[in-house]
């Protein structure tokens, strides 16, 4: 009896030991498989979130223009004796550009001085005309009331005509405004129709995608996968499956309707009224009024003249003769002084559009040349409608002219968009060059890079590591050994880097490129050595 029990106990012990051995073997095998599986997982390259500076730039091109220009005119009639410059030459501030030959002007001045003497002699003759002048004074005094009455009548006529013209123009303006309002309403209706059409097109394409394109794609994937799993698929089935997996059909995107395309311009609608007859009447009346006023002034002057020693006519003749002669002498002397000074450059710059050269004969007021400053210069550039809201006055910029770079500042932004030859609206921007030198050439093309935004010592990633989806920006990261999608908020973006405002912190590892992997796949992270 005890012997049988011992045998039973030994059997149980052997069975237990056998189970333990099997269990140990199984655990070892599982451990081995687990270790081998980790090594066989696909590797993905990761890069860390670092700290750095990011500058968003807006690039444009334009021509170098002078901000300070002055056109010079001849102060005298004469000959250009010396002019050592021509169009394109550089000059310094204070440099003499033109000297005049003033022989003819000197001669005219001598003649004018003789006229002054002649006027003085005429005074004697005026004293002999006293009796005649007194008679003319009495006659002029009698004409004054009648002239004043005629002037008042003519002024009333002009006021009436002005009011009639104003009323006609107001009516035309009202008609023009009505046309503008109608055009704007029609443009609004066209815009709303375009929006509705875009929405319908999108809904039709979305329905097609949801009910046919996407289900057919998913069925194709399922069929290929089933063939591959069953082991009866052709050799190309795996490749077809992977291609289809990595090239899903794209969801339709709603077409955006730009309200600007339906904007109404009022340029072609003008307020005009036919007031030519009224204008002609007012011009005639104004001319008659001027004549009456001139006559009244003349008669009053005669009537009010002091004839204690001379007649009115004699005094008037004396004043006119002497004053004109003295004025002529004075003017000629001033012109001589100006002519002797010649023409000097008021600032450093370059001669442009020279109208004359040495030896030419010029008249007073004649255009000589234009001087453009090379110290006060800017680049007249154009930016697209997509960038104008990024650019602000006062922003710094880099100006590239040939192989040289200059510092610049956004000085002015135009409030009017101008279409280029392709019809694309562009916004004009003047970028002042802060540090011009002798390498500046007026009229040449320059490149401008405007520093529109900047982030200092901020978390950053290379732009290729950040993806953009329908819900915003995101990155791929390894989380718990699997690929995961991490939404991020981005800030300032340059050509190379993007600021990460939230969602990731400095030191976090981000997958450079998931390749053929998908979210949820098990992978092995390896930090990139780039």
For position 385, what pLDDT does the model report?
82
Largest CA distance in the chain: 184
**Global pTM exceeds 0.75:** no
User: Mean pLDDT in runs of 10 for the chain (530 residues)?
Assistant: 38 47 45 51 92 90 93 88 90 90 70 59 60 74 88 90 86 83 87 88 89 89 85 82 86 85 72 81 88 87 69 63 56 76 90 89 89 93 86 92 93 90 90 92 93 90 92 93 93 90 92 90 86
Pull the structure tokens for residue 276.
Answer: 């030519």
Query: Could you give the CA distance from residue 86 to residue 132 in angstroms, rounded to a whole number?
Result: 62
- For the chain, the first-to-last Cα distance in angstroms comes to 79
DSSP letter, residue 347? S
Please calculate the CA angle 396-399-402 and round it to the nearest 5 degrees: 170
pLDDT of 230: 84
Among all chains, which residue has been given the structure tokens 């981000």?
510
In terms of residues, how long is the chain?
530
Nearest CA-CA partner of 344 in 15, 97, 90: 97
Q: What is the pLDDT of residue 466?
A: 94
The two tokens of residue 401 are 């002219």
pLDDT of amino acid 321: 62
The whole-number pLDDT of residue 394 equals 92
3-state secondary structure 121-141: HHHHHHHCCHHHHHHHHHHHH
Q: Which has the closest alpha carbon to 498: 59, 54, 58, 57?
A: 54
The full set of domains in the chain, from first to last, is: 43-55+457-527 (2.40.420.20), 70-102+340-372 (2.40.50.100), 130-310 (no CATH), 373-454 (2.40.30.170)
CA distance 509 to 525: 9
pLDDT at residue number 25: 42
> What is the DSSP track for 506-523?
TT-EEES--TT--TT-B-
Residues 6+ apart with CB under 8 A from 420: 382, 426
Rg from Cα positions in the chain: 46
């Amino acid at each position: 009896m005890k012997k049988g029990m011992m045998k039973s106990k030994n059997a149980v012990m052997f069975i237990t030991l056998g189970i333990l051995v099997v269990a140990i073997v199984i655990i070892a095998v599982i451990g081995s498989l687990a270790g081998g599986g980790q090594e066989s997982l696909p590797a993905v390259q990761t890069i860390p979130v670092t700290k750095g500076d990011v500058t968003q730039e807006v690039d444009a091109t334009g021509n170098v223009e002078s901000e300070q220009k002055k056109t010079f005119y001849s102060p005298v009639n004469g000959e250009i004796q010396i002019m050592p410059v021509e169009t394109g030459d550089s000059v310094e501030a204070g440099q003499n550009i033109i000297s005049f030959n003033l022989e003819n002007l000197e001669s005219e001045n001598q003649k004018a001085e003789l006229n002054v003497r002649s006027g003085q002699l005429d005074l004697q003759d005026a004293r002999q005309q006293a009796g005649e002048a007194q008679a003319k004074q009495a006659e002029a005094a009698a004409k004054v009331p009648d002239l004043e009455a005629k002037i008042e009548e003519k002024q009333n006529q002009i006021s009436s005509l002005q009011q009639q013209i104003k009323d006609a123009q107001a009516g035309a303006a009202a008609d023009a405004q009505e046309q503008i309002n109608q055009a704007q309403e029609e443009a609004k209706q066209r815009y709303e129709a375009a929006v509705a059409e875009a929405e319908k097109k999108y809904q039709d394409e979305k329905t097609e995608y949801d009910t046919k394109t996407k289900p057919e794609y998913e069925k194709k994937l399922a069929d290929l996968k089933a063939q591959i799993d069953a082991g009866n698929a052709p050799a190309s089935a795996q490749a077809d499956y992977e291609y289809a997996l990595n090239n899903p059909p794209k969801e339709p995107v709603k077409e955006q309707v730009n309200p600007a395309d339906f904007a109404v311009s009022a340029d072609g609608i003008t307020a005009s009224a036919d007031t030519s007859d009224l204008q002609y009447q007012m011009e005639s009346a104004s001319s008659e009024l001027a004549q009456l006023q001139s006559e009244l002034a003349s008669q009053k002057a005669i009537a009010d003249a002091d004839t204690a020693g001379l007649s009115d006519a004699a005094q008037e003749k004396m004043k006119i003769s002497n004053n004109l002669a003295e004025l002529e002498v004075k003017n000629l002397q001033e012109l001589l002084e100006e002519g002797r000074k010649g023409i000097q450059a008021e600032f450093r710059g370059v001669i442009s559009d020279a109208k004359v050269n040495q030896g030419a004969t010029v008249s007073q007021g004649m255009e000589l040349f234009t001087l453009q400053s090379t110290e006060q210069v800017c680049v007249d550039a154009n930016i697209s409608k997509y960038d104008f809201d990024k650019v602000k006055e006062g922003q710094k910029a880099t100006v590239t002219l040939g192989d040289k770079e200059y510092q610049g500042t956004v000085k002015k932004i135009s409030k009017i968009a101008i279409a280029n030859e392709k019809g694309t609206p562009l916004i004009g921007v003047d970028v002042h060059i802060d540090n011009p030198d002798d390498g500046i050439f007026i009229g040449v093309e320059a490149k401008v890079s405007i520093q529109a935004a900047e982030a200092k010592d901020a978390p950053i990633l290379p732009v290729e590591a950040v993806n953009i989806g329908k819900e915003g920006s995101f990155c791929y990261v390894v989380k718990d050994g699997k690929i995961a999608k991490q939404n991020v908020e981005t800030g300032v973006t340059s050509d190379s880097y993007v600021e990460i405002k939230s969602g990731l912190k400095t030191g976090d590892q981000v997958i450079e490129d998931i390749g053929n992997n998908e979210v949820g796949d098990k992978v092995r992270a390896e930090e990139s050595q780039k």
